[in-house]
Structure 1
Amino acid sequence: MTSTSSKPHDIQSLDTLTGGAFTAPTSGERAQRIRDWLAGNPSSEQMQDVFKELSGRDKGAARLLREKLDELKRAKGQEAIAAEWTQKAQALLAQPKLNIADALAWQRDAAKAGAPLSREPLAGIKTQLAERVKGIEDLQHRAQVHREAAVLLAQRFEVLSTKSWRDAQAAEEALRSDVAHWQQQAAEIVADGNWSSLDAKFAPQLESSKAQLLVVSDAFHGALAQAQAAATDLAAPLPPVPVWADELRVARGGVPEAAAPAPVKPAAPKVDPEKRAAAHGAVEAALLKLEQETAQGHGKASAGAAAALRAVLKEHGRLVDAALEARVHAALVAAGELEGWQRWSADKVREELVAKAEGLLKRPEGQALGGRKMQETLRALREQWKQSDQGGVPNHALWKRFDEACNEAHKVVEAWLEKVRADAAEHRAHRLALIEEVKAWAAEHANGSDLKAINRALHQFADRWRDAGHVGEKVFAELQSQWSEAFGAARAPFEAQQKASIERRQAMIAEAAELGAAPMLRIDAVKSLQQRWQAEAQSVPLDRRQEQKLWDAFRAPIDEAFNRKTAEREKASAAMSAHDRSVLDASKALEAASGTGDAQKIRAAIAQLEAAMRNQASAEAAPAAASADGPSVGATEVVAPGQAAAEFSESAEQSPSPEDAEAQPAPSQVDAPAASADLVAPADGADPSARSDAEATPAPAPAKPAPKPVIAVRGDDRPGNKKSEPALAARGGRFGDRRDSRGAPGGRPGDRAPRGGERGAPAGGRFGDRPPREDRGPRLGDAAFRAQRDAFERADLALRKLAAQAHGEALTQVLGAWEKRDASQLPSAQELGRAVTPAVRNAWSQALVATPSAPAGDAAEALLRLEMAAEVPTPAEQLEARRALQLKLLTRRGDPAPTQTWGQDAGKVLAAPHDAASARRLQNALKALLRK
């Protein structure tokens, strides 16, 4: 059977197996049938087959199978782990000597490994280990208690030896039974199975206690038997116990040994006074030294002084009087107290160090110390312990605890050191591989031409070497020499290119210095030199600091030359002419008018500024002199009004003011002084603004006829002016009118008239024939030029803002008049703008006066035509009507378009009754239409 025929059969069988999980109509039913099938504990092979087929059909139902399979997989893994840790635990239990630490470590490590300690067999084994550990600890406690019991029994023997021997005889049997019982218990402790698991110190301690108790018991019973014999036989020797011997001696009629008279001491021989004085001086000196050290609190010095005093007292003590001997004993007692206090304080310090050492491994998991920090901490703790040993008597018990804690904590340091060694070996291999890679790269790119890529690769190699990881100092010194050799060989060709590039740049710096020192700055040579520098900088990269230093040296002479030229130009333009001052005053007046918000004042100020720029006041003051004189030589260049004036908004042109008509010069006034306004450019190409006032004075009129006028060319280098670009066409007439390049109004700047011209045109068709240019006035200085330009821009913005406000107010008045059906509230034609003619305005007024009688269909269609003319969106509920109207208009090609009849359509809407929705639509349409 092929695979195509077996697959449906397999799915059918799996569907039968799962109770219809594959043919269930919904995902929820499939998931429920899979849960029911899994409740029967199917085999893992069956679940794998079902999951394989169901995962591509239903992810939700397949997730149940995946979770069950993962659970079985985890269970198998836990069984393997449980078997492993069960074997380890059984090995621990089988040992005759079980270490408690190993048993506790088994439970901790098993939990870390993920072993199921709460399930069998690990649960039972864990219980067995816990019971075994508890038995060992109980046996250890019993051994310690038994040692204390032996001490108490020995104390009972000692107490009975201080009482009457008859009391001891009465308690003898009880003592014998207690000692026998103690021996029996000691034998049981030794015979316990966990006795071998105890620490090795407990066995000798118990044996020592047993031997000591037996010795005391035998001596007690022997002395008691001797006392009984001495009580019955007067000739028998007395027992060695003093209390019993005195009691038997009194019973025999004698005197106690303590009441016997003391032997008479012979009289001490006389001592030489000189020897007594010498001994007294020696003891006094040693005593003063001890008292001084004790008062200052010097522990070791006081101990030495006390030892010296004891030695002197041992030699001369018999020659010292009682008073000095009392002082000596008091000083020795004080020194002993100081030594004891220092020993106590040293022990307190040692206990703190022990607590710190034991707490190193008891920190929380998030505050555990790392390897290096642990090493430094252990080193500091051991140094502190050495200092504490120097100030007092050593304490071996505390030292043992401290050393064990430090050794346990040092395991962390050992693991860290092992990791450091492994990392160092890995880092060394990585560095060696990097050196070989650099050598191979150097052989491959020895003659490379892309220096930027080579520099980038070298920097990447250097970064990789720096980030290659830590190695030992000796290893790093060895590898560093190899790296320096390989990296130097790889960098040698690039450094040679850099050296050659630096030499070329030094030559260009010298050339820049020559250009900057020249009396006439050659702009073309400077640009060529800068281009060569940029090409060199882009081809050969240098170090950033070195490249910046060379660039500063290169640009310094050129900047100095340009600064020198700028200073000269500013010095020449520092003296402001009367024309510039008048333009500045007119510019300030225009700015003040722009701030008032009055359109008439703004237009009047604009006219005054244009008149000031054309210097009409000076021209009217001396018309005769202007007409009599010929063209002046060396006059300044004429500039057109500000660029902002040409961009004035159309709203400013809608209602011209009388001031504009009066400010515009007549054609005769423009053409008459044309000859005197012609300028002659400097022959040497120097800046005309740099000429002195003496050169600007008009020369005497020549006797011969006036020469042909020459159009001046701007020679300055102010922003926005380039000699290579043709000057913009002059503008004249009323503010906002444009002229073409031939002086004809209405053309665009730069448009040229036909060469031959049309028939009847006044302009000739020959080359060089040009119409007379309008008078633009004398050339302005930089400050005046910028001031008038800024003033025109601000006036333009103010007029635009006022026009927008007037437009919005007019539109609001139209809607208010419609709502109240009051034609008197309708704005005038001038307020509505040039888009609304007086006839249209009269039609609107009549529509408002008449009684609303327009059909609703006509008003709705008129609104749609208005929205189509204004190109504004139509409400969603009217979109079908708009599409129908568009189709209707397509069939009527002879009818006028909505853009031609929008005034009549607006009248139809105004003739209809007012409603809010129609008013909103009319407002959106008229807002766009009144601006056109």
Structure 2
Amino acid sequence: MFSFSNRNPSSEAPAVTPTSTKSHDPHPLDALTGGAFSAATSGERAARIREWLTRNPSPEQMQEVFKELGTRDKGAAKPLKEKLDELKRAKGQEILAAEWAGKGQALLALSKLNIADAMAWQRDAAKAGAPLSKEPLASVKVQLAERVKVIEDLQHRVQVQREAAVLLAQRIEVLSTKPWRDAQAVLEVLHADVQHWQAQAQELAADANWSSVDARFPPQLDASKAQLLVVWDAFAAALAQAVAAADDAGAALPPVLVWANELRAERGVPVEAPVQAQKPALDPAVHNEMRARAAQAVREALSKLEQEVGEGHGKASAGAASALRNALKEHGKLIDAALENQAHAALAAAGEMEGWQRWRADQLREELVIKAEGLLKRPAEHALGGRKMQDLLRQMREQWKQTDQGGAPNHALWKRFDEACNEAHKVVEAWLDKVKAEAAEHRLQRLALIEEVKAWGVANAGLTDWKAFSRSLHQFGDRWREAGHLGEKTFAELQPQWKEAIHGAAAPFEAAQKSSVERRHALIEEAVVLGAAPVLRIDAVKALQQRWQLEAQSVPLERKFEQKLWDAFRKPIDDAFNRKTEEREKAAASLSERDRIVLDAAKALEAANATGDAGKIRAAMSALDAALRGQAQAAAVVAAATDREQNRPVAKTEPAPDATETVAEPVNPAAVEAVAPATPDAPDAPGAAADESRAADTAGDTAAPAEPLDAVPAAPAVPAKPAPKPVVAMRGDDRPGMKKSEPAQAGRGGKFGDRRDAPRGAARPGDNKFEPRRDDRGPRPDARGDGRGDPRGGRFGDRPAYEERGPRLGDAAFRAQREALERAEFTLKKLAAQAHGEALTQLLTAWEKRDASQVPSVQELGSRVTAAGRGHWAQAIAGAPDGDASEALLRLEIAAEVPTPAEHISARRMLQLQLLTRRNDPPPAQTWGQDTARVLASAFDAGHARRVQNVLKVLLKR
């Protein structure tokens, strides 16, 4: 254990804990807020702030405390912030209330108040967010509503007075048709009614709000008054004259026909029939002209009414119907019956349409009223927000206006609708207050951001890290976009200030970008010159691209513009590389003679693969290997040369060849050797060495030299390979598993590090201190004579170098031969597996039927089975079943290393233990042929056959 204390264990002095030097002075505002700044936790600070707010501190104190506490604990400062926001909203509400109260008082002070202006004041105040439900706007709203109500009541009373005047006139007209004594009896009552009506009319005109009544009502009241007085004066005068005539028989009779006839009857004078005025006879031409004008006027009014009714125009159809009625009143006596009936039908249709439109308009108004009242009954979870409520109310009011345009107004439904909309507009008022408060806060934030950008631009004017500079500018832009919503007017005021500040801060960066763009244009010009050069310099291209990358990493540009510059820079270089690629492809497209031969051989191998014949496949593979090594091309050259030599005439002086002597072919053997170099893997044809030696001798002794080939260039003579000496005697390899026909390989012997070619125990070069080591003697001489040393190096330097290869294959030929060889090898493996399975099945069938003739041949069984082994198997199958094959099967499974069935595992372990004690006996891997013969000599069993099949699958493949 190790102590982490700095105190010395041997010291007996007590450990001294260092005291903190930091002072804990109380905050100046701590006493004001009741210890809010010295509280330990955020919850205690928030509680003390709430307690302090109950004392109603001044706004200045709250602002100062919020400024200090907001940077330390935003959670504790949240009640303070809410209180300040509430004060801001209240102050804004007071300002709006004072403003709209002044406007309302100005309307009330007018002697002539327009009802539309009063209703517009309430609507505009609600849109502006003024608190209509609070004083002083609530009282102003009530006063305006009362005055509007008084004005509407005056207008209604005017209409009532008009109807009363009409009724009084009708009463007077009815009395003129009755006896004059009845009229005299009700004269006083009727006079009192007329006087009362006049008093009410004078009271209406004397009202203080009479000047605010709609301009159409005073003339209507005056007209009704004048008409009533005229009728009353005429009635009173006729009645007085009737009374006088009744008292005095010589007095004049009244102008009322009924009363005059009654007085005549009392006087005994016969009643005079009413004299009808005779109409003057009209000229027929004038009468026809008048009828034509009347019909024309009625038809015009009728066509206008039919057009408006057909288009569904309510108000226009009402006006057209009134015009048609006036035309009928004026010209009804001059038109024919058919036109009059058509006009009455059109008036009936217009009346039906007017009634339907009035009913439909009232129905739509009731739907709007129900919808407006339903806004107040929504549950809290489905309540609409301020914006949606404002849009919905505006939409509903527009629908009401459209309904009023299509039909007569309904004041009762309008009052219900307007009250419901005003009540629902309180939600909009609260939302507008919140929006205004947020807008004021967002304005302050944006102003602070503008000042911060200006200060940052001054502080970082000398910054050269343009990436960091651009990153900061982007961050400022993001903060400006995320600073919250502003009104159009405020945004239009702040946007120029922001642009000026951000452009001033970005001036150094913009100058660096301008110079960087100029440098990049220069690099683009260099790239154009480099790409247009006849020889493309890769090193120059790499250097130019590195310069571009350095420039791009130092000064960032706008992404799209930078991409355009990069595309312009890359295009000439890409074009140059494309030209180079096209040239290379053109060169590769032209196949050489050797590529054509290889392609033909590959196609032949593909065809052999399709046949599934192993012999054809191997022959095709040999032909492809010869084509790859150049032997096929060499054979073609030799055949062409032979044909040319046979077709050439023979000279008479040339001696005839002897029957026992071989005549050399007129082909330069060195040329053939150069075209088709010998490989150590290719077997030599019989007599190849003799042919080569004779060709060499004939080339030097022939009188007439051979004519050189056009297709093969002359090459220096290559020494012929010596003929192999016949083997007289050799010692065969009699070790198990080795072939006796091959000589035994000598052991390496000697100690570690001795050379293979040095005798055992001989000294190595460099062991003698006077003899230089191999490293000091310089490089080994190269077998090729070029002095470059052995390419493979090491202790294999005495081996011959790699042989010369033919020209490199083209891409198409190389891929074709590789794919053909892979498919051929796969096909051979598949055929071999099939043949192996068939041979194994045939062997088991011969065992089952005890028929030796069905045993497969040695070639079918494979290289692991010799002819003697196959004979032993056939003898075992041909004989009678004899012996037990249990131990032989176990030995076969041990030799093949395959699992043994569970019931024979114990026997296999026992046999393995026994084999360990038999030191001189051969292992099962060497005696599996005899064990197989022992199994085949036993009786056939299906279980044994499966075990034999599993074993021989492995052993015959090894």
TM-score calculated relative to the size of structure 1: 0.47
TM-score calculated relative to the size of structure 2: 0.46
Greater Rg over alpha carbons, structure: 2
